[in-house]
Amino acid sequence: MREDSTRRLQLALEGLDERSRDILQRRWLADSKETLHDLADVYGVSAERIRQLEKNAMKKLRQKMGEPMVA
């Protein structure tokens, strides 16, 4: 069951664009998680824009994994 969930997550992440995937990996999956401000500096955008990109990426990830949306 766990392997299936891990595989589904990998496939869902692969379906995202490179920037969205990178943001999610750095914010949620890395051992040393980066802040919105850290990523804003990396991408040359505002922290608010990173938050928006993260939110959209999470929405796509949930849809790809077949989970209901959480408000």
Domains of the chain by residue range: 2-65
Number of alpha carbons in the 13 Å side-chain half-sphere of residue 67: 13
- Helix boundaries (H) for the chain: 2-14, 18-24, 36-43, 47-65
pLDDT along the chain (71 residues), means of 10: 78 92 95 97 98 96 71 44
pTM metric for this prediction = 0.80
Q: How far apart are CA 10 and CA 65, in angstroms?
A: 10
Architecture of domain 2-65: Orthogonal Bundle (1.10)
Q: What tens digit of pLDDT does each residue of 40-59 get?
A: 999 999 999 999 999 999 99
Amino acid 1: pLDDT: 58
In 10 A of CB 48, how many CB atoms?
A: 10
